[in-house]
Structure 1
């Protein structure tokens, strides 16, 4: 592992995307616990992409327009669904209390993991990024790739947790301002929509 790998990983992970938006939304909806659960879910969603990269399936995805297209449009559909659901869900950002609907851990983790699973850019990232730091001729190339991937996942967990806890820290201030809640809801919905449209334009 090199400094260049760590710095590049930090830049890629810290750049706001669908996972960051989901974690922020979860933090504002359910506080620290939901933020941590969302961060874990987004990290878990990296595992299938890692497995594909190690087994060589990601190369097939990168070279097959059909496979890439199917995964891409599944991801687009899910992001658009998130946009609509966020826009329409008036319960998404509510204060804790007897009447506040609790989102289950399984549902939050599942939604976060599915979002990353349906993101073909993650697989492309593993195809284009990791090989630059692993010599394929090394006898321990696979363990080396697994080690770097573990670092990537750890950085993802730490950065997303930081985003989530930061949002949870100001949650109570946000909840006291209905106009801010409405603005945030529309912003999250618009961001999911924009990400979906950007993903639709992505090419293998």
Structure 2
């Protein structure tokens, strides 16, 4: 890829990853509730979900999803329902304050929860379908290499941005000094999950 094109794509990747969304909320929630070590399974799950989205678009299936109202709606409403479910779970949870900020939750649970957050977000697919072709050269023989570079760039950038969100969330832990504050924190993140669901429900693909 031309260096100027790659730099432009890198900039676009950072802007997209930095925009607050369900992935960022999920990452910050995991850190606050389960400690900074939960960052690893959480971000790995997000990137697996994101990577599958990128792969789907790269092989052309994303265009089918983007053009199909039925498929788009099905995935969108599954995503909306999942985010609302996560939000409700945070609202009704009754955690006990732990000064070490090590709350019980398996790494696999955090991993799959995060993967589903990205997998059930059709906005990512529509975005990728619109973005990737803008940076592909006219030489179709180099498309696989270019898509590999762009896909890797998207994932690496997203990991960096999610680590920044995780670091920011770790600063909040010092204020969680009681069961009451833990419940309040959970309800704040629960509200963010529900807000993300409402935003996703209002999203409509371009016609």
CA distance in 1, matches of 2:99, 2:145: 45
* 158-167 or 174-183, which deviates more: 174-183
SS in 2 for 1:45: helix
Cα contact 1:35–1:168 (8 A) shared by 2:
no
Residue 111 of structure 2 is matched in structure 1 by 109
Given that 1:174 and 1:181 are in contact with CA atoms closer than 8 Å, whether structure 2 keeps it comes out as: no
Aligned to 1:175: 176
* Shift, 1:101, TM fit: 4.7
1:199 aligns to 2:203 (yes or no): no
SS at structure 1 position matched to 2:198: helix
Question: Which TM-score applies when normalising by structure 2?
Answer: 0.89
Deviation at 1:179?
5.1
| Distance in structure 1 (CA, Å) of the matches to 2:54 and 2:138 | 16
Give the structure 2 partner of residue 95 of structure 1. Answer: 98
Structure 2: where are the runs of 5+ without partners? none
Residue 49 of structure 1 aligns to a residue whose secondary structure is helix
The yes-or-no answer on 1:135 pairing with 2:137 is yes
Question: Which stretch shifts more, 177-186 or 105-114?
Answer: 177-186
Alignment partners' CA distance in 2, 1:83 and 1:59: 31
Q: 1:136 to 1:78 in 2, by over 3 A?
A: farther
Q: State the alpha-carbon separation in 2 of the partners of residues 94 and 110 from structure 1.
A: 25
Aligned length: 200
Query: Which secondary structure does the structure 1 equivalent of 2:160 belong to?
Result: helix
In the TM superposition, residue 178 of structure 1 has moved relative to its aligned partner by: 5.0
Task: Give the SS at the match of 2:141.
Answer: coil
Mapped to 1, the partners of 2:118 and 2:129 lie a distance apart of: 16
Q: Are the counterparts in 2 of residues 36 and 164 from structure 1 also a CA contact under 8 Å? A: no
Give the structure 2 partner of residue 185 of structure 1: 186
CA-CA distance at 1:113 after TM superposition: 0.3
Task: Give the Cα separation in 2 of the matches to 1:138 and 1:146.
Answer: 14
Partners of 2:109 and 2:183 lie apart in 1 by 24
Give the Cα–Cα distance (whole angstroms) in 1 for the partners of residues 201 and 138 of structure 2: 32
* In 2, Cα distance between equivalents of 1:179 and 1:130: 46
Q: CA separation in 2, counterparts of 1:170 and 1:72?
A: 31
1:33-72 aligned at under 5 Å gives the runs 33-72=37-76
Q: Distance in 2 between matches of 1:195 and 1:136?
A: 37
